[in-house]
């Protein structure tokens, strides 16, 4: 008799995806805000603040993708063909912004081209991820073990809206990061941008929270049927509390508050999505258990993961610690 | 004309992996070389090793960045274009891919940041350890991805339920029959390719009389390495060939363009294989040598393609020619190291103009060899993704249309044709600038921080 590792893998994968959203979220957001920076010195600083860590952050994307393939291969095989073009656009945009880190400083005669590549690459990659999120919540046409719709089904008003919402969400994280890592004018600008993003994010959270149940009876049932409506009432209440905290942190002199508040908003929104969909991994079609890989596969990977993840956290944490503190103006990416 | 999503997806995969594999081919070798230089600097305290290491580390950063962005594309291909392959093989292969991420990618990413930007932020030993970890990460990555690829060539340790693979024995899955040979052959090829780039750069610097002291050390070190590795690679290649004969005879028949099974087979040096007529034209061959090389026995039986039904044969011409290209490059490398040993014995390694010129031209050799070898083994596996068990035609995503793939292929082609040439151009420019002579001008590769975290509370640090 094998132990059922599906709950544990669900937790691990959910955590991996969240880490990705958080870590690459802030550095994509920094990339988006980079486009608003007025001059070269400010841009150097902004880029330096994420140069040593972006690569590690993006590794979570690979691990999230591979983790999905390993733990829930059926979901992987259905979701990816369904979001064929957003994935393509995301990958190409990430390629542009990824090489821009090195190319911008080594190719000075085209620095402005790579500046744009970095900013728009971050923006477009974020938009594409938002579309993937929206399309996923809406669900896919499935036949047997395959996606059977068109590659263009994923472009809906809802998914375009979540795409735009995510741009503001990541920018808010990015602003939080910049408040943490910079000083003076740059920090003030980050606060100002952060406040605008915050307002947009709150509006977006409200709209998505209404639009999703209106579109999907199952989700409406989940949230508004008795007694769920009581059990789940802390979610909106906590959201309001975090929003209050974040707004205050953006307006006072707190250096860590805005980043923590932004993380909180992402975490609570993420919980909301999980509550809406659980236990389905392909909405309306497959549960986590139906899409899971063989128990032998899950066990084999789990053994190594339990050992390796703490090690990864240790050395990744060390790497962040080495680059702790404010980014300085006098040293750069040479 | 009907656009075929299968052919287009295959072309797209070939495109993205061909570009991607060039980067690890370079960074696996260079990672180890940098770790070696950092180690030598750490032990001997000689500044010159540090300068050489700093020079290559900057180039490594560009290549690694391109490797990362083209590498992120790869796992998503399995889902977007090869979803039935993903669904069918995931139980067996996915942990190998996931372990690549867990053991290699995180390790490389975390320590690369410190290697590139942390020289002045961490103690010297920690910087050396970072270089070592990056190198180790690249090797772990090779281990897992080649285990997965080898399993597709020579599957083992599985059983099939309802058309999907399930694991039975993980040791057999990872250490499948072709894996040890493929791993050794490929990693050696990566080292050789990198060594040829280092030699080429060193020869260029000596010829231009720039940083020639550093260049001599590079040239000497790497020619010693090649003198060891190239002959080793010939032996490994031969062992890999024997393994292919045993486990993938149809692939071997395609590589050799043998149509009839025969003992005392000739070695075909050149031919124009004709799949329709099931015969070769314009053949140049050496009697008996085929059996001798492939089976190590003049009377050995060499398989012929006619033994398999037409729909189970690989296309012949591509593996036939790509294999000969790879072997041809091997011969050139052997010649190069023979001359280098002779010149070294006469103390003329650094001052023989024609040899330096040839050495300078040798940079692309390894990469061409790798692409040729990769083409041989992957096209030779056709028409299967999992050899003999899962057809390529049954692996592709069912919902794809030809137009979908045309768009995505055009996207990958446009972006790669911009990014890769620019990257190459920038690396070439760094090389032209030579090795920075004073440590100061190497620049503190530092992300930046206050001297001590406490000072963020109060006064500005000086």
Question: pLDDT tens, A232-262?
Answer: 999 999 999 999 999 999 998 888 999 999 9
B286 band by pLDDT with thresholds 50, 70 and 90: confident
What percent of chain A has pLDDT above 70?
A: 97
* Helix, coil or strand: residue B446: strand
Contacts with A294 from chain B: Cβ below 8 Å: 91, 166-167
Asked whether the predicted pLDDT for residue A41 surpasses 90, the reply is no
Q: Residue B107 has what pLDDT?
A: 87
The whole-angstrom distance between residue A3's C-alpha and the CA centroid of its chain comes to: 31
A333 band by pLDDT with thresholds 50, 70 and 90: very low
Asked whether the predicted pLDDT for residue B449 surpasses 70, the reply is no
Q: Residue B439 has what pLDDT?
A: 53
Put simply, the answer to whether A297 touches B90 (Cβ < 8 Å) is: yes
H/E segment holding residue B271 = strand B267-274
pLDDT in tens, B205-236: 999 888 888 899 999 999 999 999 999 999 99
Q: Which residue of A has its CA nearest to B168?
A: A296
CB B56 within 8 A of CB B430: no
Asked whether the predicted pLDDT for residue A125 surpasses 60, the reply is yes
Q: How much is the mean pLDDT over chain A?
A: 90
Q: Residue B440 has what pLDDT?
A: 45
Q: Which residue of A has its CA nearest to B117?
A: A52
B1 band by pLDDT with thresholds 50, 70 and 90: low
Distance from CA of B102 to the nearest CA of A (A): 7
Q: Between helices B106-117 and A54-71, what is the axis angle to 10°?
A: 180
Q: What are phi and psi of B240, to 5 degrees?
A: -60, -40
Distance from CA of A182 to the nearest CA of B (A): 10
Residue the block writes with tokens 């993704």? B385
Q: How far apart are CA A151 and CA A153, in angstroms?
A: 6
Q: Between helices B179-207 and B124-153, what is the axis angle to 10°?
A: 130
Q: How far apart are CA A77 and CA A146, in angstroms?
A: 7
pLDDT in tens, B132-157: 999 999 999 999 999 999 999 999 99
Q: How far apart are CA B108 and CA B91, in angstroms?
A: 26
* Helix, coil or strand: residue B356: helix
Out of A59, A95, A300, the one facing B106 most closely (by C-beta) is A59
Out of A61, A66, A324, the one facing B98 most closely (by C-beta) is A66
The Cβ of residue B382 has, within 10 Å, a number of other Cβ atoms equal to 20
H/E segment holding residue B99 = helix B83-100
Asked whether the predicted pLDDT for residue B448 surpasses 50, the reply is no
Mutation site, B95, B119, B130, interface A, largest A CB count within 10 A? B95
Asked whether the predicted pLDDT for residue B442 surpasses 50, the reply is no
Q: Could you tell me the two tokens for B433?
A: 């600038």
Put simply, the answer to whether A150 touches B166 (Cβ < 8 Å) is: no
CB B80 within 8 A of CB B51: no
Distance from CA of B40 to the nearest CA of A (A): 24
Q: Domain coordinates of chain B in residue numbers?
A: 23-176+413-462
Asked whether the predicted pLDDT for residue B450 surpasses 70, the reply is no
Average pLDDT on B39-44 reads 90
Q: Residue B301 has what pLDDT?
A: 87
Contacts with B444 from chain A: Cβ below 8 Å: 331, 334
Q: How far apart are CA B129 and CA B135, in angstroms?
A: 10
Residues 314-333 of A with CB under 8 A from B: 315-316, 318-319, 322-328, 330-333
Q: How much is the mean pLDDT over chain B?
A: 88
- Exposed (0-12), middle (13-18) or buried (19+): which is B327, by Cβ within 10 Å? middle
Cα atoms in the 13 Å half-sphere on the side-chain side of B165: 28
Q: Residue A110 has what pLDDT?
A: 83
Of B103-112, B188-197, B206-215, give the range with the top mean pLDDT: B188-197
pLDDT in tens, B308-335: 998 888 889 999 999 999 999 999 999 9
Q: Which residue of B has its CA nearest to A91?
A: B73
What percent of chain B has pLDDT above 90?
A: 59
Q: Residue A329 has what pLDDT?
A: 53
Q: How far apart are CA B411 and CA B414, in angstroms?
A: 5
Put simply, the answer to whether B72 touches A81 (Cβ < 8 Å) is: no
> Which residues lie closer than 8 Å to A27 by C-beta, 6 or more apart?
A50, A53, A54, A57, A122, A174, A177
CB A46 within 8 A of CB A37: yes
Q: Residue B438 has what pLDDT?
A: 61
How far apart are the two ends of chain B, measured CA to CA in Å?
71
- Prior bond of A136 cis (ω within 30°): no
Q: What are phi and psi of B273, to 5 degrees?
A: -70, 140
Q: Is A122 on the interface with B (CB under 8 A)?
A: no
Put simply, the answer to whether B101 touches A94 (Cβ < 8 Å) is: no
The Cβ of residue A318 has, within 10 Å, a number of other Cβ atoms equal to 15
CA angle B12, B18, B20 (to 5 degrees): 100
Distance from CA of B311 to the nearest CA of A (A): 26
pLDDT in tens, B386-432: 999 999 999 999 999 999 999 999 999 999 999 999 999 989 998 98
Contacts with B112 from chain A: Cβ below 8 Å: 55
Average pLDDT on A283-312 reads 91
Q: How far apart are CA B133 and CA B127, in angstroms?
A: 10
CB B416 within 8 A of CB B25: no
Q: What is the DSSP letter of A144?
A: T
Q: Which residue of A has its CA nearest to B454?
A: A325
Contacts with B423 from chain A: Cβ below 8 Å: 99, 103
**What number is the ipTM of this complex?**
0.89
Q: Residue A33 has what pLDDT?
A: 93
A vs B: CB pairs below 8 A: 263
The whole-angstrom distance between residue A39's C-alpha and the CA centroid of its chain comes to: 28
Q: Is A290 on the interface with B (CB under 8 A)?
A: no
Domains of chain A: 6-320 (1.20.1630)
Among the listed residues B104, B178, B90, the one whose alpha carbon sits nearest the alpha carbon of residue B142:
B104
Q: What is the DSSP letter of B305?
A: G
What percent of chain B has pLDDT above 70?
A: 94
Asked whether the predicted pLDDT for residue B462 surpasses 60, the reply is no
Mutation site, A56, A86, A114, interface B, largest B CB count within 10 A? A56
Contacts with B415 from chain A: Cβ below 8 Å: 92, 95-96
Rg (CA), chain B: 24
B266 band by pLDDT with thresholds 50, 70 and 90: confident
Put simply, the answer to whether A316 touches B106 (Cβ < 8 Å) is: yes
Q: Residue A101 has what pLDDT?
A: 85
Asked whether the predicted pLDDT for residue A107 surpasses 70, the reply is yes
pLDDT in tens, B343-398: 999 988 888 899 999 999 999 999 999 999 999 999 999 899 999 999 999 999 99
Q: How far apart are CA A103 and CA A100, in angstroms?
A: 5
| Strands in B150-197 per DSSP E | 158-161, 164-167
What A101-104 contacts at long range (C-beta under 8 Å, 24+ apart), as own/partner pairs, is A101/A47, A101/A51, A101/A54, A101/A333, A101/B65, A102/B61, A102/B62, A102/B65, A102/B426, A103/B62, A103/B422, A103/B423, A103/B426, A104/A47
């Amino acid at each position: 008799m094998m132990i059922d590792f599906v709950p544990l893998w669900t937790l691990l994968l959910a955590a991996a995806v969240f880490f990705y959203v958080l870590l690459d979220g802030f550095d994509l957001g920094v990339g988006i805000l980079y486009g608003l920076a007025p001059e070269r010195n400010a841009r150097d600083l902004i880029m330096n603040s994420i140069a040593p860590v972006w690569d590690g952050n993006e590794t979570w994307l690979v691990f999230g993708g591979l983790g999905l393939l390993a733990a829930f291969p059926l979901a992987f095989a259905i979701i990816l063909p369904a979001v064929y073009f957003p994935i393509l656009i995301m990958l190409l945009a990430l390629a542009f912004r990824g090489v821009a880190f090195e190319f911008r400083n080594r190719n000075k005669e085209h620095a402005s081209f790579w500046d744009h590549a970095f900013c728009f690459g971050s923006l477009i990659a974020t938009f594409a991820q938002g579309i993937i999120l929206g399309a996923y919540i809406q669900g896919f046409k499935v036949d047997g073990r395959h996606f059977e719709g068109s590659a263009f089904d994923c472009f809906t008003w809802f998914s375009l809206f979540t795409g735009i919402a995510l741009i503001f969400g990541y920018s808010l994280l990015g602003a939080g990061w910049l408040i943490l890592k910079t000083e003076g004018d740059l920090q003030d600008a980050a606060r100002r941008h952060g406040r605008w993003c915050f307002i947009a994010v709150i509006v977006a959270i409200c709209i998505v929270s209404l639009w999703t149940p209106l579109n999907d009876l199952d989700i409406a049932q989940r949230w508004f049927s008795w007694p769920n409506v009581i059990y789940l009432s802390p979610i909106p209440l906590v959201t309001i509390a975090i929003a209050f905290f974040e707004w205050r942190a953006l307006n006072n002199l707190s250096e860590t508050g805005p980043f923590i508040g932004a993380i909180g908003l992402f975490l609570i929104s993420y919980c909301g999505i999980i509550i809406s969909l659980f236990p389905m991994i392909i909405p309306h079609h497959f549960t986590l258990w139906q899409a899971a890989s063989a128990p032998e596969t899950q066990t084999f990977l789990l053994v190594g993961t339990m050992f390796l993840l703490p090690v990864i956290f240790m050395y990744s944490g060390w790497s962040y610690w080495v680059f702790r503190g404010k980014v300085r103006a006098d040293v750069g990416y040479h | 004309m009907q656009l075929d999503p299968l052919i287009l997806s295959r072309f797209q995969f070939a495109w993205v992996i061909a570009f991607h594999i060039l980067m690890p081919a370079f960074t696996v070798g260079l990672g180890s070389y940098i770790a070696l230089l950092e180690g030598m600097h750490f032990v001997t305290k000689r500044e010159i090793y540090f300068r050489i290491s700093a020079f290559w580390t900057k180039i490594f950063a560009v290549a690694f960045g391109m490797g990362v962005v083209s590498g992120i594309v790869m796992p998503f291909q399995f889902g977007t274009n090869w979803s039935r392959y993903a669904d069918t093989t995931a139980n067996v292969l996915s942990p190998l891919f996931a372990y690549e991420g867990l053991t290699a990618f995180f390790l490389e990413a975390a320590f690369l940041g410190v290697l590139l930007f942390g020289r002045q932020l961490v103690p010297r030993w920690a910087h050396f350890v970072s270089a070592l970890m990056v190198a180790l990460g690249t090797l772990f990555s090779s281990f897992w991805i080649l285990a997965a690829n080898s399993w597709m060539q020579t599957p083992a340790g599985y059983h099939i339920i309802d058309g999907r693979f399930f694991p039975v024995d993980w040791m057999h899955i990872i250490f499948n029959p072709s894996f040890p040979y493929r791993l050794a052959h490929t990693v050696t090829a990566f080292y050789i390719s990198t060594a040829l780039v280092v030699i080429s750069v060193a020869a260029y610097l000596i010829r231009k009389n720039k940083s020639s002291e550093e260049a001599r050390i590079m040239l000497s070190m790497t020619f010693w390495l090649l003198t060891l590795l190239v002959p080793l690679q010939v032996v490994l290649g031969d062992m890999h060939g024997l393994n292919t004969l045993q486990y993938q005879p149809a692939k071997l028949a395609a590589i050799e363009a043998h149509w009839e099974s025969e003992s005392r087979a000739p070695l075909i040096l050149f031919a124009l294989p004709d799949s329709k007529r099931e015969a070769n034209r314009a053949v140049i061959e050496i009697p008996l040598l085929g059996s001798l090389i492939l089976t190590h026995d003049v009377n050995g039986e060499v398989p012929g393609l006619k033994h398999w039904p037409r729909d189970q044969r690989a296309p012949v011409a591509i593996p036939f020619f790509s294999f000969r290209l790879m072997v041809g490059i091997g011969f050139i490398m052997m010649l190069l190291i023979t001359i280098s040993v002779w010149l070294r014995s006469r103390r003329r390694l650094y001052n023989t103009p024609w040899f330096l010129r040839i050495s300078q031209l040798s940079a692309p050799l390894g990469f061409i060899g790798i692409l040729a070898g990769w083409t041989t083994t992957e096209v030779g596996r056709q028409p299967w993704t999992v050899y003999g068990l899962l057809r390529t035609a049954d692996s592709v995503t069912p919902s794809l249309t030809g137009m979908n793939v045309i768009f995505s292929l055009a996207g990958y082609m446009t972006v790669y044709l911009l990014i890769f040439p620019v990257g190459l151009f920038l690396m070439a420019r760094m090389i032209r600038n030579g090795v920075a002579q004073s440590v100061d001008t190497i620049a503190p590769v530092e992300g930046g921080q206050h001297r001590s975290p406490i000072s963020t509370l109060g006064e500005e640090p000086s």
